[in-house]
A = this chain, B = another copy of it.
């Protein structure tokens, strides 16, 4: 058994990992991925809500695979036991737990938004909370591996991108970077499965409330907007762009689909658009550029770390429709976090992530 063999010791390094927030959906997906990761071992299943309960009582799928009990979020103690800490926690919590001491002892990959936005005022405005450790924001590297790979390798603190954000940026990055589109016309219409809403007990996320329906939410106000704008801005002229971002809730467990619209600049043709995507992604393991005329579908990436990208050009309106699909819990959260861990720990970037998408 692969994940049992690991405890028998192997020739290479064995990264010791702690997870704060291991009983959320992203935290649990970290567990799934790390159990099958040959160079990592989970030493701390943190979960405020379930301290001292068996992890497998919280997630029955982990029965007989995880024997551990849930621990508190004592990051100080954890940092003495772990090489890498994943914080898969509500907004604001990671910012309140990180200290220089901890960072001096181990790497942190934060799956929350706390260190994603460089401008504290922007963060505090969109999230409505005061940032508890702004002194680390500058140092934090935005962990979108395909774009920031080199910076990530040397980082102590990774701001793991949001799920909508990853899909939106990857879908548009080459077009912005190569200046093929009018960046003032970008509209991102995104659709997400329900796991993105987390495991909190809310009426709005009950089966009967979500099933057999679709809705937009957070229209013009969703918190992933400034993150997208900042990162696409870096690809353009260094200052944030201004985009419309509209998320929708879709009755399915996993998956994000982004349908993004923008006006092509004068003279730009389909070949140039295709070439731009090729230029940045053709060697990327986890980005699959679809053949011309094919649209991405979330079912084709489920359970995997892939982002599928395709585009269509409308010759009548001179707009490009750029589309991306990923699994919000994998490439949109836990998978990308492991990818970041691999990079900062000097492992093969793809280790533990070469899972073929599961269908149906």
Q: Which A residues are closer than 8 A to B by beta carbons?
A: 1-4, 25, 28, 31-32, 35-36, 59-65, 185, 187, 189, 191, 193-195, 199, 201-203, 205-217, 219-220, 242-244, 246, 248, 250-255, 257, 259, 261, 285, 288, 290, 294-304, 308, 312-314, 316-317, 319, 321, 323, 325, 350, 354-360
Contact = CB atoms under 8 A, between A and B. Distances in A.
Contacts of A312: 219-220
Nearest to A360: B208
Contacts of A203: 199, 201
Contacts of A191: 191, 214, 248, 250
B356 A35 contact: yes
A199 B210 CA distance: 12
Contact of A36 (B185, B209, B251, B355): B355
Nearest to A1: B354
A360 B220 CA distance: 28
Contacts of A189: 189, 246, 259, 261
Contacts of A60: 294, 297, 299-300, 308
A244 B317 contact: yes
B354 A2 contact: yes
A316 B202 CA distance: 31
Nearest to A28: B359
28 contacts: A2-B354, A3-B354, A60-B299, A61-B299, A61-B359, A63-B288, A63-B300, A65-B356, A187-B187, A189-B246, A191-B191, A193-B212, A201-B201, A201-B203, A205-B206, A206-B207, A207-B209, A211-B251, A211-B360, A212-B254, A213-B298, A213-B299, A214-B298, A216-B259, A216-B321, A217-B295, A242-B316, A244-B319
